[in-house]
Amino acid sequence: MIGVLDVVLLAFILGCALATALLRDVLGSIIAFSAYSLGIAVIWVFLRAPDVGLTEAAVGAGVMTILFLVTIAKTSRPSGERTLERIDYRAAGIAIALVAVLSTTLVALPPFGSAESAVLTDEVTRYYLANAYEQTEVKNAVTAVLAGYRGFDTLGEAAVVYAAGVSLLVVLKKQVFA
């Protein structure tokens, strides 16, 4: 069942997301986004996903913020007196329509934390949990799946990171990362 802390954390990340969207100053928006990433990292720990929480805190709140800050240091920040942006009603209409359409699926979703949900009763989940230690001798099932059973996924991920590095050099017309 959902607790008070869950509700507070969810309210915090929603507030940070709205601040990110509405602050006019891009620097303020980036700072709100890193607070948002931090809140999300805490939520991952709450949802018993410590590996994802660590990655989110290091990458989402750390690397991502640095990338954004480097970008605005190399480009510009819109100046002006107003703190908040004007609301774009056309975009707000599209966003509300999307949320409304997605919300119609809420009745079909399992309640939060239900042990009968499709993910938890699935054969794949049960197979990994039952056999991960015997077959890989790794006690962290996430690591066993990441590097063992789904190792090709991780290889594909490495290929994506390499491709991103190369395309970044091509786009910026540089020979090396300096």
Partner 1 sequence: MIEFLASRLYYLVSFLLLGVGTYMMVGNANLVKKVIGMNVFQTGIFLFFIVSAFVSGGSPPLLTAPEPYVSPLPHVLILTAIVVGVSLTAVALGLIVRIYEEYGTLNENAIRKVISDE
Fill in the per-residue mask, 93 to 112: x = in contact with partner 1 (CB under 8 A), - = not in contact. Answer: -xxx-xx--xx--x--xxxx
Provide the Cα torsion 70, 61, 170, 25; round to 10°. Answer: -40
Binding mask 148-177 for partner 1 (x = CB under 8 A): --x--xx-xx--xx-xxx-xx--xx-----
Under rule CB under 8 A, which residues in 13-72 are in contact with partner 1?
Answer: 13-14, 17-18, 20-21, 26, 29-30, 33, 36-37, 40, 43-44, 47-52, 55-56, 59-60, 63-64, 67-68, 70-72
Contact between 178 and partner 1 per CB under 8 A: no
Map residue 105 onto helix, strand or coil. Answer: coil
Query: Rounded CA gap, 178 and 126, in Å?
Result: 47
Contact 12, 39 (CB under 8 A): yes
Smallest gap from residue 178 Cβ to partner 1 (A): 14
Instruction: Tell which phi-psi region holds residue 137, choosing left (phi > 0), alpha (psi between -120 and 50) or beta.
Output: left
